[in-house]
Structure formats: C-alpha cells, structure tokens
Structure 1
Amino acid sequence: KAGVKDYKLTYYTPEYETLDTDILAAFRVTPQPGVPPEEAGAAVAAESSTGTWTTVWTDGLTSLDRYKGRCYHIEPVAGEENQYICYVAYPLDLFEEGSVTNMFTSIVGNVFGFKALRALRLEDLRIPVAYIKTFQGPPHGIQVERDKLNKYGRPLLGCTIKPKLGLSA
C-alpha cells in the first residue's frame, strides 16, 4: 500500500500498450505472504518511479500519468511457488538524458529494500534507441585507449579503489 492507497490502483495498468520509447524492465518478484502479485508489481513500478507513501502538495503541479512507471504484465515463474515476472514500462521523460547513473538509480535504487517484497531481481532491461541516442559515448575508441596503455590482446578492466581496499579487519 502506498501509504494513502493501494499501489495497484495507480501503477498496475494491464491495458497499457508499451511505446517504442519506453524503457522496459522485467523483474522477478517474490511478494511477502498476503501481498497479491498485482500489488507487488505495481509497488515495484511505483517505488522505482513516482510513488510515495504520503500525499504530496506538488502532486497537482505535474502529470503523474506522464512520469509514472507502469506494471503492465505479470506472469508466474514456471516451477517456482509465489514468484512472478513483473513487466514495468518507464517513460523517457522520467530520466535525465545521457545519464546511465540516473536511469539505474531510478530503476534499481531503493526498490530492492521494499518491505512488500521478500525478494526482487532485475532480469532484463530494454533501453530504447531514442534514449541510447542521448549518450555521447567516449571521446575516442578502444584503440586509442589500448595505445595509451600499451595493452593489446586482452580485456581492459577497471575498478574503483576504495580507501579500505587491502586493509585487514
């Protein structure tokens, strides 16, 4: 429940037909006991887009319909009890152009700690061409990087070095 009303009243839209410009996500969802799959799927759509647990005075300033994620299809996972694939469509207007960080923070941010769900996993993600075109890409190609590093014939891997790396407990 979205604090003031059930999520499925706003975010479960089985009649919705996806657009070529929608970002589409498939989540494997295991609801808590007593939570119907429609409510769990709608909760994922809400919590990863515009959902909130209380009424907000700014609700009247924007069109929720324009920005909300929509759980448009749910199917049980074959051979698994109480597991479902919930399909969620997100409008491009919800995301900052050219920002992978913004997209992933929205879609897979705090939704994984949501109490209505026992388990949640992002299984698949379709990013439309319209959104991909907003990414500038690297300023030069892989060959320039290999030449700078003088590394050829193997993958180039990187990681963030954290201050705690290498320290014993």
Structure 2
Amino acid sequence: MRWRDRFLFCAEALYKAQAETGEIKGHYLNATAGTCEEMMKRAIFARELGVPIVMHDYLTGGFTANTSLAHYCRDNGLLLHIHRAMHAVIDRQKNHGIHFRVLAKALRMSGGDHIHSGTVVGKLEGEREITLGFVDLLRDDFIEKDRSRGIYFTQDWVSLPGVIPVASGGIHVWHMPALTEIFGMIPYYSSVEEL
C-alpha cells in the first residue's frame, strides 16, 4: 500500500473509531521518506487530513531532516513522535558504537515531542541507572553529573524543550507496575500500541 493510501485509510479508521466511541483516538502516520522534500509532503498531507501526530525515524531519516520536520510540526500544531529504527546497530556496539545517551541528546537538539526510549523491563531492557540517566537527559531542564547513571557532566538545557520518553517495545499491561515504580507516572508513559 502506498503511503498516501495508507494515510487515508488510517485517518478514515481513526475518525470512524472516534465517532463510534466518543473517545479521542490517535495514530502515528510515518512521515519518514527517502528525501526531506518527500518527508515534508507526507507531513503536510497528514496535517490536511487533520491527524494530530506524525512519526519520524530520526536515525534513518537524518538529523537535519528531523530538525526540518520538527520545525514544521511545531509551527503547524502537529506532535512529532520519534522512532529510533536502527539504534541497536549504533548504540549496542561497545567498541565503536555511539551510546543512546548521545543519540538522545542529539535528538533533543534536533527536535521532537516524544521518543521510544527503552524500558528496563520487556524487550527493550537496559541497565536501570543508565536508562534513568538518559530519560532524565530527555525530559529535565537541568541534570547533575552522576557517572553511575551515565551522566558524565552537568547539563543545563536552558530553554531547549524536553522530549517525553515513551516506554515501548515488548511491554504489556503486566509491566505497568514496574514501569510506574521505576519511572513514575508522568512524564514517562507507555505507547498505546503496546497496550
């Protein structure tokens, strides 16, 4: 199915479900494309459909493309959900990779509203303290140096907006008590696609 047809199909299903239930529904329409121009066409079409959220794979799409999309979304009232396809190829290589902490900082500078960030439980398990460290780097305005959490220097983000970390990847409702205990309720939430 071509992207335009998929967007139309998803928007139709979204509005039908809202009409039937009286509840607000959402779907992340994937704007990731081979060129920045094509990506922007997809975001513009999503906005024309009235869909409130688009998604972008920021590692495969590229940082500058992501920044362009983030500016467009911010200027046009769209939420930008960030997916991190390909991250494991980059951040799980201990000898020559780039830790997700660095990728998270790059994303925060590039722009986005929320990102799949790992969970400590479920499929995207990671070291608890390190995961908490980069979750704080995403969402807090000021982070103190704490090597035990992978924070190697104090970081003051000043006025740069935060990014909401989204628990996702192989989790289900039985993981919610552990997620709540580890991260708290707000602003760390679970991706509805998982529940």
Fold match by TM threshold 0.5: no
From the CA coordinates, give the structure whose radius of gyration is larger.
1
TM-score norm. by structure 2 comes to 0.24
Q: Which has the higher contact order (CA 8 A, sep 6+)?
A: 1
TM-score norm. by structure 1 comes to 0.27
| Structure having the larger proportion of residues in strand | 1
